[in-house]
Structure 1
Amino acid sequence: MSNALSLDNLRHIQAKAAIPNYQRSDMKAGIVHFGIGNFHRSHQAVYLDDLFNLGVDHDWAIIGAGVTSYDSAMRDKLMAQDYLTTVVEQDVGRSEARVTGAMIDFLDPANPRATIEKLADPAIRIVSMTITEGGYFINPASGTFDPAHQAIVADAANPANPKTVFGIILAGLKLRSERGIVPFTVMSCDNIPGNGHVTEHAVVGLAKLSDPSFADWIEKTVAFPNSMVDRITPATGSREIDHCEEVFNIADHWPVYCEEFKQWVMEDKFTAGRPALEKVGVTFVDDVAPFELMKIRILNGGHAAIAYPAALLDIHFVHEAMQEPLIRDFLGKLEMSEIIPCVPPVPETDLNDYFSLIERRFANPKIGDTIPRLCQDGSNRQPKFILPSTADRLKRGGDITGLSLVSALWCRYFAGTSDSGQKIEFNDASADRLHAAALRAKDYPLAFLELGEIFGDVGKAEIFQKRFTRALTSLWDRGTRETLSAYLEGSLGV
């Protein structure tokens, strides 16, 4: 018989899962977090749960927040189970469940005024976020904040009634400044190069549109630490919900399944204090850039590289893609010959060993990570995870055959069918434009590269156009398998 996840049932749940050893009634909030998705609950919330289990920093509990219908649905699920989450860590030969209690409340996304008022509470000293790469209003081609985005323009015109995360944060900071309260730290936990800088540019950029003097105050007084976060965390579906109930006897509305590995590297840069996360494995450094560049180029770039050939070959799970020799070898050659040589040295890290770890993580069959998850939101991910490596190689005069093939595979994917003729379901805000461009590119390959907001100057480089054209033509004429084989044999770029 399963136990519905709740505070009252923890005494029964502990028979098959670890539970918090602290009393939730003793917890006080110190963090408001926007974007209570799976990654946050497998990462930041787990680190805090570990810290609370040490008996310290119980005034740093999390309050959830959001602005979307997804956030409202998640709030309903978590509220029904006292904001508890079952986190199942899986590795080969190991599967263990724990219940985390780091979250103690979830603000109503339909009531932004209440959220703004909570942000003005002196007890809230950190506002953090995992809002995905697409949530930062970045122009893909320039890589900078886009002040002309419709949502940003709307918030700038009506700052007292914001609709975006950054508009709400700005309004919260405004209240604190008016009331003489020390500003909170704004902490991004998303996979974006220089995520602290990107967040600062969004908040300050929005402020400049309506109140330039307040924008200056933010730049002088608010901390935006950069960080590198890492843990492979698939989406939850019926498979995970059923497994949680059948194996651990826990009826959780939305459990989180993840790999055993996790990492968090962060600048020690906070305006109003922070929890002692170094006690539970967080690494604080002066410069996060080497760590985040390593992770974004090698891991996230690796995910982007295997996603589209796997989709074109009708492969559903990531570990199954790694079992396909053509994809595994394609990833290995691409990383070792084109991506890793452009990654600067990282303190106390061997990049080849790091890639070997990545290969093992991708191949973990217990995770159940899916190719559709890796394929989603490519219009935001490709310019961050793949094209910067291409740009670096072009500057150095290095070979870009493999990186051009990655872009061609993405284009071929957006034609809408796999090699076998199966329909591909897109999950991308720019899906219609990408699909139209990919169809034109079948006869005129450069049509895809003319998406200037994505490819920028890379798309104008003659050698990239040549390599991309050859790869895309091969994908249409010979299919994915023969094209990957040609790349591995060294004949694709000839």
Structure 2
Amino acid sequence: MTTKLSAAALPAITTASTPAYNRGTLRAGIVHFGVGNFHRAHQAVYLDDLFATGAGHDWALIGAGVREADEAMRQKLRQQDWLTTVVEQEADSSSARVTGPMIDYLKPGDSDAVIERLTDPAIRIVSLTITEGGYYIDPASQTFDPAHPDIAWDAANMAAPKTAFGLILAGLIRRRDLGIRPFTVMSCDNIPGNGHVTENAVAGLAALIDPALAQWVKANVAFPNGMVDRITPATSPREIALLAETFGIEDNWPVFCESFRQWVLEDNFPAGRPALEKVGVQFVADVAPYEHMKIRILNGGHATIAYPAGLMDIHFVHEAMEHPLVAAFLRKVEEDEIIPIVPPVPDTDLNAYFALCEKRFANPKIGDTVRRLALDGSNRQPKFIIPSALERSQRQQSVNGLSLVSALWCRYCYGTTDSGAVIEPNDPSWDRLTAQAQKAKVDPRAWLEMADIYGELAHSPAFIAAFSKALKTLWEIGTKATLERYLADQL
């Protein structure tokens, strides 16, 4: 027998922990754009922990979205009173909890309602998890792209903006005009300097409307940088069924994740913030060393295993880690090329951090997929792999491993695995990537012609040579034999 998740059903749930606070006492303090799995497994869980201590009940969440897909999430969560079941999975254990820090979810597309809520003085933080590709960043320069059609639309239609940044700016303008203190804008996405990137987006849009408005944003709105970490795969029918079978709970969209979580934040919240330090959030003066470590080692590691595993028809990430060639490839690239150029991090052993990443990747209970890791390489490679390769090239150090990672991505984007199986589109720019990968099969330099992705690295003779050799080898002998050759220092 199963229990359908709802506020009324909470007393009947005995297989999972439930909110240890009266949700009726919660008052909104945060509007969050991008209510996906990561947010519900990370920021929402920290708030749930805080509320359970009896503190912070004026910092409840209100969801917001801008995509059509956000409405599907809104409807599923509305049916269960905005509750979410979070299942933490380790190799030898599983536990479930029902979290309840969200108290409403604004209808996507209703810009008037969103702007009105953003104008509410009680809203002191606006947070975002809109993915790496949602910030309108030029891949090569890693700067805000003011010419993007979505941004151009918002600049001309601030009464009904379509992007998160347009809505945020509209809310800030309304607050300014009414004499209400600006809210803090807090990115929770995996982007180097995510606070700076978010500021550039909001101020960049403002500059298209009025340069004075852009200056006001920069002078008055806080954009703290933060590093977030928790492996959280997408929800599929598998997870929904597993929750019902194991814990007897029917949840429209549960979240499965690892038990590990980390959040490091700059303490820059002029309008106030919840006391998240009580529940494990680290507040520091400078997040950069932590995020640099995480993005280069963990996210770079994910990118390193994604494409060889995908080309060898491996489905789950833990299965990739069980493959001796993939695991050895990851370790060699990390130890030889990535970790040596990561700056020191306070109170952190980088090699121990990588060992923890290996253990996390190998978790058999997570069910994370190789396809998810391989998703959106056109946005992720310029953040997770190309910067390490560029830095090593500038130092005149070997880039054999990182160039092979890039060649594997190119080979993956050709659209077939080594066995001939079709790889379904897995990137917003899939058609373009596939066309370039087809050209690169004949002339590897064609792949590096994507200057918006490779930038300065495309002009490095050492990288060009190493990439060309790696890609030619992949086509000649396949992924497995290429990895063997690389691991034997023969590539």
What's the TM-score once normalised by structure 1's chain length?
Answer: 0.99
User: Are 1:430 and 2:429 matched, yes or no?
Assistant: yes
Q: Which residue of 2 aligns with 1:5?
A: 5
**Residue identity matched to 1:388:** P
SS in 1 for 2:475: helix
SS in 2 for 1:457: helix
SS in 2 for 1:442: helix
Q: Which residue of 1 aligns with 2:312?
A: 313
Q: How does 1:392-431 map to 2 (within 5 A)?
A: 392-431=391-430
Gaps of 5+ in 1: none
| Contact 1:449 1:455 (C-alpha < 8 Å) held by counterparts | yes
User: Are 1:192 and 2:191 matched, yes or no?
Assistant: yes
Q: How does 1:61-460 map to 2 (within 5 A)?
A: 61-460=60-459
Deviation at 1:110, TM superposition (A): 2.2
Whole-angstrom CA distance in 1 between matches of 2:74 and 2:459: 45
**Residue identity matched to 1:240:** E
Deviation at 1:426, TM superposition (A): 1.9
Q: How does 1:17-96 map to 2 (within 5 A)?
A: 17-96=16-95
**Residue identity matched to 1:3:** T
Q: Deviations over 1:198-230 (max 9, x none)?
A: 000000000000021111111111100000000
SS in 2 for 1:382: helix
**Residue identity matched to 1:421:** G
Whole-angstrom CA distance in 2 between matches of 1:347 and 1:427: 37
Deviation at 1:113, TM superposition (A): 1.1
Deviation at 1:157, TM superposition (A): 1.4
| Contact 1:408 1:468 (C-alpha < 8 Å) held by counterparts | yes
Whole-angstrom CA distance in 2 between matches of 1:466 and 1:427: 27
Whole-angstrom CA distance in 1 between matches of 2:318 and 2:44: 26
Flag as ranges the 4+ runs of structure 1 deviating above 6 A: none
| Contact 2:109 2:162 (C-alpha < 8 Å) held by counterparts | no
| Contact 2:325 2:480 (C-alpha < 8 Å) held by counterparts | yes
SS in 2 for 1:479: helix
**Residue identity matched to 1:328:** A
Whole-angstrom CA distance in 1 between matches of 2:302 and 2:440: 24
The CA RMSD measured in Å over matched residues stands at 0.5
Q: Deviations over 1:169-197 (max 9, x none)?
A: 00000000001000000000000000000
SS in 2 for 1:369: coil
Worse-matched range after superposition: 153-162 or 189-198: 153-162
Worse-matched range after superposition: 183-192 or 423-432: 423-432
SS in 1 for 2:66: coil
Whole-angstrom CA distance in 2 between matches of 1:62 and 1:159: 25
Whole-angstrom CA distance in 2 between matches of 1:462 and 1:386: 18
Whole-angstrom CA distance in 2 between matches of 1:183 and 1:427: 38
Deviation at 1:126, TM superposition (A): 0.1
Whole-angstrom CA distance in 2 between matches of 1:180 and 1:433: 47
Whole-angstrom CA distance in 2 between matches of 1:238 and 1:429: 24
Deviation at 1:353, TM superposition (A): 0.3
Q: Deviations over 1:305-356 (max 9, x none)?
A: 1000000000000000000000000000000000001100000000000000
Percentage of identical aligned residues: 65
Whole-angstrom CA distance in 2 between matches of 1:476 and 1:241: 40
Whole-angstrom CA distance in 2 between matches of 1:447 and 1:460: 12
Whole-angstrom CA distance in 2 between matches of 1:22 and 1:139: 44
Whole-angstrom CA distance in 2 between matches of 1:85 and 1:214: 39
How many residues get paired? 491
| Contact 1:182 1:271 (C-alpha < 8 Å) held by counterparts | no
Q: Deviations over 1:369-400 (max 9, x none)?
A: 00010011100000000000001101111100
Whole-angstrom CA distance in 1 between matches of 2:346 and 2:446: 42
| Contact 1:221 1:271 (C-alpha < 8 Å) held by counterparts | no
| Contact 2:150 2:163 (C-alpha < 8 Å) held by counterparts | yes
| Contact 2:85 2:255 (C-alpha < 8 Å) held by counterparts | yes
**Residue identity matched to 1:5:** L
Whole-angstrom CA distance in 1 between matches of 2:424 and 2:483: 23
What's the TM-score once normalised by structure 2's chain length?
Answer: 1.00
**Residue identity matched to 1:275:** P
Whole-angstrom CA distance in 2 between matches of 1:251 and 1:407: 42
